[in-house]
Structure 1
Amino acid sequence: MMLDVLIVGGGPIGMAAGIEAEKKGLSYVILEKGCLVNSLYNYPTNMTFFSTSEKLEIGDVPFISHNPRPTRQEALEYYRRVQTKWNLQMKLFEGVTGIKRLEEEDAYHVHTSKATYKAHSIVIATGFFDFPNMMNVEGEELPKVKHYYDDPHLYAFSNVCVIGGANSAIDAALQTYRKGANVTLVLRENEISPRVKYWVKPDIENRIEEGSIKAYFNASVEAITENTILINTENGETVTLDNDFVLAMTGYQPDFSFLKNIGVTISDDEFKTPTHDTETYETNLSNLYLAGVVCGGMKTSTWFIENSRVHAEKVIENIYQKRMQLS
């Protein structure tokens, strides 16, 4: 069967694209390599969104939460209800292994871990949470080094070093501290990121000022051992600290190799922005589109659920207009 559109990624933006395809009467399939909204599932257990619940809504399904800013658990429940309402054509735990353009068929062949599909158009809505930015230091491969933070109880009464100064790092530092961990925060910058949630930023600044959480600014990690971590401080000294866990909250990036293997060109600057039209979100490849945070490349703070929901509407509208011209 030849699909009008195949959507790669079953997160909120991929789901939103599926909903728009459903509205337009386009044939489609959404492929998700993990569970429904897999990235959200892997968020920290106690995470609270920066966005308010109504700004996370898709498919005309109201998002009611206990507080204005919903929790991870509330978001998982919400997107399950969206799927129940729309009954989207979604294949879970089916990862894409390859996408190839066949000009003679004016179509793409999409190979997965379970099947092969053909589609006139492709929408890549894969996000970036699966690929952490590595520190590239000795000892980073040790089991105690984690690029994903889950539940603070694991770190109770341990020596924990948190790397980073943005939201995920600050949340991890505060939550593990409040479970009894001895927390050290290491930041490359000279201050807590101004993007940290405004109701959290005073908390971490006060904990640092009173000495409850030790912070090294303008610093970096030199090496990690089984029982210690070595930190290069801003005055050029190396400090060795007792350490049980390292939470490297250094951010994430899109799967650039996946995009390049398809044929999407990437800018050669530090931002590695995938080529796409800023109105239609079509890439340098005909009928292959990007949607969501993947559009930002390394600028992962540019797009998020709240402001990229509109991508789904624009992409599917462009696909629909093209299909109508051919019919």
Structure 2
Amino acid sequence: MEMYDVLIVGAGPIGLACAIEAKKTGLSYVVVDKGALVNSLYNYPVFMTFFSTSQRLEIGDVPFVSINPKPNRNEAVEYYRRVVEKFALNIKLFEMVSNVSKQQDGSFHVTTSKKQYQAKNVIISTGFYDVPVSMDIPGEGLSKVTHYYKDPHLYAFQNVVVVGANNSAIDAALETYRKGANVTLVIRNAEIGSYVKYWVRPDIENRIKEGEIKAYFNSELTRITPDQVFLNTPDGELILENDFVIAMTGYTPDFEMLKRLGVDLSGAGINCPVYNPETMESNLEGLYLAGVVCGGMDTHKWFIENSRIHATQIFEHLRAKAMA
């Protein structure tokens, strides 16, 4: 079995940035991902626009050219695919990591759904988009309920309930409304989320003010049936006729995987992994963290633009260890 210098779990933008650094450093590496290339971005809404400019999404010093001030999901997916082609990165897709165990010699044995690997170091760069936050209510498992919104055309002329107050929920509400859906927003708090994109906020506020999108604040779903939804509102229970529920309730990193690996999650914040902020090495020697996964439940702390540096930090540390 070949021994890699580095095995990278996650083929998102930060995992790719790590692979590029490995290649530049001359270290042997492999990237393993349970889904498609940049799987999280692939699962973004088809017409989503990033908050960041294209320059702030660049990796590997490869220019990201967009015709708009802020790129969209389709441009980003194409950009990262072309980056992989440019560097001929060693990536294994649709291969889920099931176990990572540290050996007596300090290396790691990695088991996936397809094969086994040996690596001197492991980088976890799995993001946070794969585990939706459950509402834990009856009917959430019905086929009409989704935690992943893709294309508004599906919801044309349907009664749609959108759950959530931040960008994903607001985008879904506006896009489905403009495709003819009868949209109701259900928001647990008293107002639209503070992270909503500044150019989108006036749009949703005006649609709600005009009554084109109905919004229930300080409210939550309590039950879903094939034809209805039940809401707990400040004015009591409300029952709505319903065809689809788009539950944009947020996502979390795969904490169970981190626990299985032995990563200490007692850092500052909820389920926040412990790591050295200068080297990104976790409590386990040779196991590094990169990207959004570093923030635990605070998924608004790390983004592509401010965590690209993690790749540089990790490989500077690996180079220093090799020279010691």
Matching residue of 2:209: 209
* Alpha-carbon shift at residue 271 of structure 1 (Å): 1.6
* Alpha-carbon shift at residue 76 of structure 1 (Å): 0.9
Deviation per CA, 1:53-90, whole angstroms, max 9, x where unpaired? 00000011100011011111101110111011101111
Q: When the two structures are superposed, what TM-score results if normalisation uses the length of structure 2?
A: 0.98
Amino acid at match of 1:129: Y
Matching residue of 2:44: 43
Matching residue of 2:160: 160
Alignment check: 8 A CA contact 1:26 1:320 kept: no
Aligned equivalents of 2:138, 2:36: Cα separation in 1: 33
Matching residue of 2:244: 245
Alignment check: 8 A CA contact 1:162 1:184 kept: yes
Matching residue of 1:306: 305
* Alpha-carbon shift at residue 269 of structure 1 (Å): 8.1
Amino acid at match of 1:94: E
Aligned equivalents of 2:264, 2:278: Cα separation in 1: 18
Matching residue of 1:132: 132
Matching residue of 1:63: 64
Aligned equivalents of 2:87, 2:9: Cα separation in 1: 18
Matching residue of 2:11: 10
Aligned equivalents of 2:31, 2:38: Cα separation in 1: 12
**Could you say if the C-alpha distance between residues 209 and 152 of structure 1 is closer, same or farther in structure 2, counting changes exceeding 3 Å?**
same
Alignment check: 8 A CA contact 2:267 2:274 kept: no
Amino acid at match of 1:195: Y
* Alpha-carbon shift at residue 10 of structure 1 (Å): 0.5
**Could you say if the C-alpha distance between residues 25 and 269 of structure 1 is closer, same or farther in structure 2, counting changes exceeding 3 Å?**
closer
Q: For structure 1, list consecutive stretches of 5 or more residues without a partner in the other structure.
A: none
SS across alignment from 1:100: strand
Q: When the two structures are superposed, what TM-score results if normalisation uses the length of structure 1?
A: 0.97
Matching residue of 2:147: 147
Q: What is the total number of aligned residue pairs between the two structures?
A: 323
Aligned equivalents of 1:246, 1:220: Cα separation in 2: 12
Aligned equivalents of 1:106, 1:154: Cα separation in 2: 51
Q: For structure 2, list consecutive stretches of 5 or more residues without a partner in the other structure.
A: none
Q: Percent identity?
A: 60
Aligned equivalents of 1:13, 1:118: Cα separation in 2: 22
Aligned equivalents of 2:268, 2:148: Cα separation in 1: 27
Alignment check: 8 A CA contact 2:269 2:298 kept: no
Aligned equivalents of 2:100, 2:12: Cα separation in 1: 19
Amino acid at match of 1:272: N
SS across alignment from 2:131: coil
Q: How does 1:107-126 map to 2 (within 5 A)?
A: 107-126=107-126
Alignment check: 8 A CA contact 2:269 2:296 kept: no
Matching residue of 2:287: 288
Aligned equivalents of 1:200, 1:84: Cα separation in 2: 34
Aligned equivalents of 1:133, 1:144: Cα separation in 2: 17
Aligned equivalents of 1:155, 1:21: Cα separation in 2: 44
Q: How does 1:202-281 map to 2 (within 5 A)?
A: 202-235=202-235, 237-267=236-266, 271-281=270-280
* Alpha-carbon shift at residue 267 of structure 1 (Å): 2.4
Alignment check: 8 A CA contact 1:253 1:300 kept: yes
**Could you say if the C-alpha distance between residues 268 and 290 of structure 1 is closer, same or farther in structure 2, counting changes exceeding 3 Å?**
closer
